[in-house]
Amino acid sequence: MLYGSMNQLVSFIEWFLEYYLPPMIANASPVLVNGRHRIDLGYMFIDGRPLLGAGKTWEGLVVGLYMGFLASIPLYIYFDNVYILLNGSIASLTALIGDMIGSFIKRRIGLKRGDPAPILDQLDFALMATLYYYYVAPGFQQRPYYILYSLLIILLLHILTNNIAYYIGVKDRRW
Ligand code: CTP
Ligand code: MG
C-alpha cells in the first residue's frame, strides 16, 4: 500500500520534472542577467502604452532559452530519450513567449512593469508550455491530473522562489 503510493509519487515527480523543469528554469533565469535591450524596442501599442515593457529583454530571452536547454541535458540522460532535449528547448521557448504574452496583457490593462497580476504572473509561462506539450508530446494529455497538480505546484513554487529572490536581493519586488 505504502510502497504503491511511493511509486505513484515518484512517477509523478519524474513526469513533472521531465515536462516542467526546462520551462521553469527558462522562466526563472532572465532575472539574473539584467538585460538592457527591450524585445519591444520601446514601441508603444495603439493604446499608447508599451507593447511589452522594459521587463522583457533579448538578453533575458537568450539566457532563458539557453538555461532551459541546459536543464534538459540531465533529463535527457536520466530518461535516456534524446527527444527531451528538443522538447525541453521548445517548451522553454514557448514558456518565454507565454511570459511575454503575460506582459502584453498586463500592459493592456494598464499595469506597469513589475506590478503584480496574481495567477497571470505565476502561470503565463507554464500555461503556454502546457499548451505546447498538450498538442505535441505523445501521452502528455492522457494525464489531466498530473497537469493540474503540476500547475498548482508551479504556482506555489513561484510564490516561494520570488520571495526568496526578493529577500536575497536579486529581485526588487516580491512578485
Ligand atoms: N526578464 C528579462 N527578459 C525576459 C523576461 C524577464 O530581462 N524575457 C527580466 C527582467 O529584468 C524582469 C525580470 O526578469 O524585470 C523578472 O521577470 P518578470 O517578473 O516576468 O517581469 P516584470 O519585471 O514583472 O515585468 P512584467 O510586469 O512585464 O511581468
Ligand atoms: Mg513580474
Q: What is the pLDDT of residues 62-116, one digit of tens each?
A: 999 999 999 999 999 999 999 999 999 999 999 999 999 999 999 999 999 999 9
Residue 172, pLDDT score: 76
Q: How far apart are CA 120 and CA 73, in angstroms?
A: 29
Between CA 67 and CA 90 the distance in angstroms is 12
* CA-nearest residue, atom 9 of ligand 1: 31
Judge whether residue 155 has pLDDT over 80.
yes
Would the pLDDT of 173 be above 80? Answer: no
- Residue 153 near residue 123, CB atoms below 8 Å: no
Ligand 1: residue of 37, 45, 56 to mutate (most ligand atoms within 8 A of CB) is 56
pLDDT at 61: 98
Can you read off the three cell numbers belonging to residue 86? 528538443
User: In the structure, what pLDDT confidence band is assigned to residue 28 with cuts at 50, 70 and 90?
Assistant: very high
Cell (9 digits) for 172: 526588487
**Ligand 1 center from residue 11 Cα (angstroms):** 33
Q: What is the pLDDT of residue 128?
A: 98
| Choice from 31, 34, 99, 120 to test ligand 1 binding pocket (greatest atom count within 8 A of CB) | 31
pLDDT for residue 1: 65
Q: How far is the CA of 112 from the centre of ligand 2 (A)?
A: 10
Grid cell at residue 174: 516580491
Could you tell me the pTM of the whole model?
Answer: 0.93
| Count of C-beta atoms within a 10 Å radius of residue 146 | 16
Distance between CA 145 and CA 129 in Å, rounded?
Answer: 16
Helices 58-79 & 2-28 angle (0-180, nearest 10): 150
Alpha carbon of 17 to ligand 2 centroid (Å): 23
User: How many other C-beta atoms can be found within 10 angstroms of the C-beta atom of residue 28?
Assistant: 20
Ligand nearest to the CA of 112: 1
Q: Which residue minimizes the CA distance to atom 8 of ligand 1? A: 56
119: amino acid identity, one letter: I
